[in-house]
Every structure is written in C-alpha cells, then in structure tokens.
Amino acid sequence: QKEVEQNSGPLSVPEGAIASLNCTYSDRVSQSFFWYRQYSGKSPELIMSIYSNGDKEDGRFTAQLNKASQYVSLLIRDSQPSDSATYLCAVNPRGNNRKLIWGLGTSLAVNP
Amino acid sequence: GAVVSQHPSWVICKSGTSVKIECRSLDFQATTMFWYRQFPKQSLMLMATSNEGSKATYEQGVEKDKFLINHASLTLSTLTVTSAHPEDSSFYICSARDPLLPMRGNYGYTFGSGTRLTVV
C-alpha cells in the first residue's frame, strides 16, 4: 500500500460545479496535511493546510480531514477553467520540519 | 513571507558537464531545504534533504556523488549535477519552510520556481 494515495484522474467537471479531490494516507499518526496545486511546467503552490478533524474553508476551497478514516479531501466550489491543474496531496507524518510524503496527484480539468 | 528563490529557471548543458542550481530563502532562515526532481507527467520525487552545516540526507537510489548538495548558510542551498547526462534532464525544484512560523495556520512548505535542466 502506498503511503499517500490519490486517484490520478483525470477528473473532469463543468465550469461552476464542485470538484471533489480525495486522498488517503497510511500512517495513522500523521499530523499535518497539505493540498498543493501544480500547473504544467510550474512548481507546486500551497492551497490549503489542515491539522484537525473537520472542515477548513478558504474562499472557494474547503479541506476536510477525517483522521479516523485516514482521509483528507479538497472541495473546489464554483470551479473555474483556471483551476485546471494537478492537485497534490502531501502528508507530514511526524510534524516539525520533516519531509513530506506526496501522493501522485489528481489531474483536474474544468470545462467551460 | 516564506519566499524561496531558485536559479537558474532553465539551463541547457552538454553531456559530461556539471550544472549548479541555487536555492535561496529570501525572508527567512532555512535550516532545512528539500530537493525534488520531477519527470514529465510524473509526481515529485524527493532526492535529498539539505541540512545547514551538515551533510545532506539522500533518498534511497539517489547517487550522492552525482548530485552534490551544499547548504553552507541558513539562506542558501545548492545542488550540483555532476557529469550530467541526457537521462538527468528533468525539472528540479527546491522547497523549504520557515521554522519560525507556527505549524498551525496555513503555513506550508514553499517551493522555488524550479529549474528545467536539459542535457544534450
């Protein structure tokens, strides 16, 4: 079992819809979780971080964490074509300034 | 805050030559930096963890003599690809986190803009 798993996609949604991206992780004691967006040919940029169970909202983005199920998700409301990118889930298993464990990413296409 | 600057953004070199990539933390002191490599349509692959004032920690399968990492100051880490070959052509990205920022809050790991290396 991979440490951090994501559906590779592509996930295709119409403009204005909600895009739902999912990520599961294997290390039960993981402490912090990140969603990054990566456009083709560019480096990743941080969208959201989440540490506690529940939802965390920032603009059109909502991160959801369920530690019991070892599951973290990212919802994008009112999806725009500019949201089309690869979304990477990353987990920091032990906190502090440690290396992240990365998923392979989910490709999202938002169709006008 | 937490800006990471990476240079050059792209480089073309001849096979057998060496290439140095710089990664600077502009507004914080980075005791640790991470070096990644990414091939087209693939995910990030962590190559090594660069520690200021000590030897880098390389991931399994990464040749430390080929990918030399120097983290001589709290704001600069360099990756040198020695005797580069076409198979080393890739997108190299550094990343760091301001250790003074709280873990809580939206403070993740910041990435440099990346270096696209092409070896001909």
pLDDT, tens digit, for every residue of B36-73?
999 988 889 999 999 888 889 999 999 999 999 999 89
Identify the pLDDT of residue B108: 76
* Residues of chain B above pLDDT 90, percent: 72
- Residue B4: pLDDT band by 50, 70, 90 thresholds? very high
Would you tell me which residues 26-45 of chain B have a C-beta closer than 8 angstroms to some C-beta of chain A? Answer: 31-32, 34, 42-44
Tokens of B93: 């990205």
What does the alpha-carbon distance between residue A20 and residue B102 come to, in Å, rounded to a whole number? 28
Res B31 pLDDT > 90: no
Nearest alpha carbon to residue B2 among B104, B100, B103, B114: B100
Whether residue B1 lies within 8 A of chain A, CB to CB, comes out as no
What does the alpha-carbon distance between residue A82 and residue A15 come to, in Å, rounded to a whole number? 10
Whether residue A11 lies within 8 A of chain B, CB to CB, comes out as no
Torsion angle of the four alpha carbons A67, A69, A74, A77, in this order, in degrees rounded to the nearest 10: -110
A chain contacts of residue B42, beta-carbon cutoff 8 Å = 104
pLDDT, tens digit, for every residue of A19-70?
999 999 998 888 889 999 999 999 999 999 999 999 999 999 999 999 999 9
Mean pLDDT of chain B: 91
How does DSSP assign B81-120, residue by residue? E-S--GGG-EEEEEEE--TTS-SSSS---EE---EEEEE-
**Residue B63 contacts by C-beta under 8 Å, 6 or more apart in sequence?**
none
- The upper half-sphere exposure of residue B104, i.e. CA atoms within 13 Å in the direction of its Cβ, equals 1
Res B103 pLDDT > 70: no
Whether residue A109 lies within 8 A of chain B, CB to CB, comes out as no
Average pLDDT of span A71-95: 93
Neighbours of B51 (CB within 10 A): 16
A chain contacts of residue B105, beta-carbon cutoff 8 Å = 49
Average pLDDT of span B17-31: 93
What phi and psi values does residue B88 have, to the nearest 5 degrees? -85, -5
Question: Closest approach of chain A CAs to the CA of B111, in angstroms?
Answer: 7
How does DSSP assign B17-68, residue by residue? --EEEEEEESSS--SEEEEEEE-TTS--EEEEEEETTS--EEPTT--TTTEE
pLDDT, tens digit, for every residue of B85-98?
999 999 999 999 88
Cβ contact, residue pair B112, A43, below 8 Å: yes
Whether residue B97 lies within 8 A of chain A, CB to CB, comes out as yes
Core vs surface per residue A34-50: b (16+ CB within 10 A) or e: bbbbbeeeebbebbbbb
